[in-house]
Amino acid sequence: MPSPAEKPSLPTSCANNEHQPLVFDSSILRYESNIPSQFIWPDHEKPCLEVPELEIPTIDMGILLSGDPLAVSKAAELVNEACKKYGFFLVVNHGVDLGLIEKAHQYMELFFSMGLSEKQKAQRKVGESFGYASSFVGWFSSKLPWKETMSFPFSPGCQNVVEQYFVSLMGEDFRHFGRLYQEYCEDMNKLALRVVELIAISLGLNHAYFRDFFEDNDSIFLLNNYPPCQKPETVYGLGPHSDPNSLTILHQDQVGGLQVLSDEKWHAVTPVPGAFVVNIGDTFMALSNGIYKSCLHRAVVNSQTVRRSLAFFLSPRMDKTVTPQAGLVNPKNPRMYPDFTWKTLHEFSQKIYRIDMNTLDAFCKWLQEQESNKNTP
């Protein structure tokens, strides 16, 4: 890796030239003080790097296995309060091997330290859901995220799907990457099903209600790499948004950069070693009939240190109807959202709408327009 003293020059493809294609090469842009305009946010939307820290609700997942009904009830109350107010909480004592988490971070570092041409063997194409993305160059023309990602599918019903995905894109040399992330996703899936069990209890439902709903899921796993930026106050690692999926389980390194909106103010989520951040997504907000709020969050970067995170996006099976349990709909809390499938929302967020803080409302409006067009002679 080049030192700042021997920083590479910015190629013409990264310069502010409307006639040249933009390329996000983190090994170069991390040293560049002339930030390409496509990454710079308007003054009134620019990030605030110094925000107050949020006191985060922390749930001990070992309580579910304890068999102590009082302890489970108290944990469920904490989850209920956290999901109504913030849309997120931390989980500890989760049973995921810390050595596996560490190895997943090490492999992520190895992947993103490769040259751009190597990573582009897994290039994600516009409109596709999986693969390598260097920012979202080619997808959008402004407010681009200061990050690169690698995403791949996971479904408990598809044997070795992650391993096969890596081999198909990157070749046999990456089989060990696939095996490692296959194991990690399997552990994330087990943890996610335990978390939704607790969420069901917190909503007054049978503990198995959401576990059964998500048992045959079509989920997504994402590796995030946020390189340093010489003008971090002008860009976002990822702009303000809510996740369109159901539940996100995030493990971030110790650098920090995640911010959450609470009481109309942004707050920092300081990394806690060994803990996972769990946040409610738009699909779960619909499943709860709006009782639980999808977490509004963003990622900021810094000028010195790369930040990385691992995100497991629990999602229903593609063709499963997303509809709230009957007990969550009543005169005081009437039906909030129409029925839909995860496939429809997922495609909307990939091909039609750039996710932000209003994705679910925009999606519901779009669904109504589609229905209206069907009924128009």
The whole-number average pLDDT for the span 260-271 is 94
CA gap 132, 155 in Å, rounded: 19
Query: What contacts 168, CB < 8 A, 6 or more positions away?
Result: none
Phi, psi of 152 (to 5 degrees): -155, 160
Q: Is 231 helix (H, G, I), strand (E, B) or coil?
A: coil
From first CA to last CA, the distance across the chain in angstroms is: 62
Q: Give pTM, 2 decimals.
A: 0.92
Average per-residue pLDDT for the chain: 91
Please tell me the number of Cα atoms within 13 Å of 166 on its side-chain side: 19
pLDDT at 69 exceeding the cut of 60: yes
Among 20-29, 209-218, 262-271, 277-286, the least confident range = 20-29
Closest by CA to 261, choosing from 301, 299, 297, is 297
Q: Which token pair is 128?
A: 């596709």
pLDDT for the residue numbered 320: 97
Q: Is 137 helix (H, G, I), strand (E, B) or coil?
A: strand
pLDDT at 4 exceeding the cut of 70: no
pLDDT at 162 exceeding the cut of 90: yes
> pLDDT class for 138, splitting at 50, 70, 90?
low
Supply the DSSP symbol for 274: T
Please tell me the number of Cα atoms within 13 Å of 189 on its side-chain side: 24
The whole-number average pLDDT for the span 142-159 is 95
Q: In whole angstroms, how far apart are CA 116 and each of 23, 24, 163, 267?
A: 10, 9, 22, 34
Q: Where are the alpha helices (DSSP H) in 216-341?
A: 282-287
**What percentage of the chain carries pLDDT values higher than 90?**
85
The whole-number average pLDDT for the span 139-146 is 86
Residue type present at position 124:
R
The whole-number average pLDDT for the span 176-201 is 98
Sign of the torsion formed by the C-alpha atoms of 108, 109, 111 and 117: positive
pLDDT for the residue numbered 140: 77
The whole-number average pLDDT for the span 4-24 is 48
Q: Is 124 helix (H, G, I), strand (E, B) or coil?
A: coil
pLDDT at 12 exceeding the cut of 70: no
Residues for the chain: how many in total?
Answer: 377
pLDDT for the residue numbered 21: 62
pLDDT at 2 exceeding the cut of 80: no
pLDDT at 6 exceeding the cut of 90: no
> pLDDT class for 374, splitting at 50, 70, 90?
confident
Closest by CA to 111, choosing from 183, 186, 166, is 166
Q: Which of 307, 308, 335, 354 is catalytic?
A: 307
Q: Which token pair is 356?
A: 């932000």
Among 37-41, 54-58, 292-296, 372-376, the least confident range = 372-376
pLDDT at 17 exceeding the cut of 80: no
Query: What contacts 96, CB < 8 A, 6 or more positions away?
Result: 187, 188, 191, 276
pLDDT at 8 exceeding the cut of 80: no
pLDDT for the residue numbered 9: 38
Residue type present at position 41:
W
Among 16-30, 187-201, 209-223, 297-311, the least confident range = 16-30
Among 153-157, 165-169, 291-295, 368-372, the least confident range = 368-372
The whole-number average pLDDT for the span 166-194 is 96
User: Could you please report the per-residue DSSP string of 170-205?
Assistant: H-GGGHHHHHHHHHHHHHHHHHHHHHHHHHHHHTTS
The 10s digit of each residue's pLDDT in 281-309 is 999 999 999 999 999 999 999 999 999 99
> pLDDT class for 20, splitting at 50, 70, 90?
low
pLDDT for the residue numbered 212: 97
In this structure, are residues 246 and 314 in contact, taking their beta carbons and an 8 Å threshold?
yes
Query: In the annotation, is 179 catalytic?
Result: no
SS3 of the chain: helix, strand, coil, percent, to 5: 40, 20, 40
pLDDT at 37 exceeding the cut of 80: yes
**What percentage of the chain carries pLDDT values higher than 70?**
93
> pLDDT class for 137, splitting at 50, 70, 90?
low
pLDDT for the residue numbered 22: 78
pLDDT at 221 exceeding the cut of 70: yes
Alpha carbon 202 to its chain's center: 23
In this structure, are residues 316 and 322 in contact, taking their beta carbons and an 8 Å threshold?
yes
Q: Which residue has the higher pLDDT, 206 or 16?
A: 206
Instruction: Give the H or E element holding residue 79.
Output: helix 69-85
Q: In whole angstroms, how far apart are CA 286 and each of 77, 206, 227, 292, 324?
A: 20, 18, 34, 9, 7
pLDDT for the residue numbered 129: 82
The whole-number average pLDDT for the span 233-247 is 97
Phi, psi of 148 (to 5 degrees): -130, 150
Pick left, alpha or beta for residue 182 (phi over 0 → left; psi -120 to 50 → alpha; otherwise beta). alpha
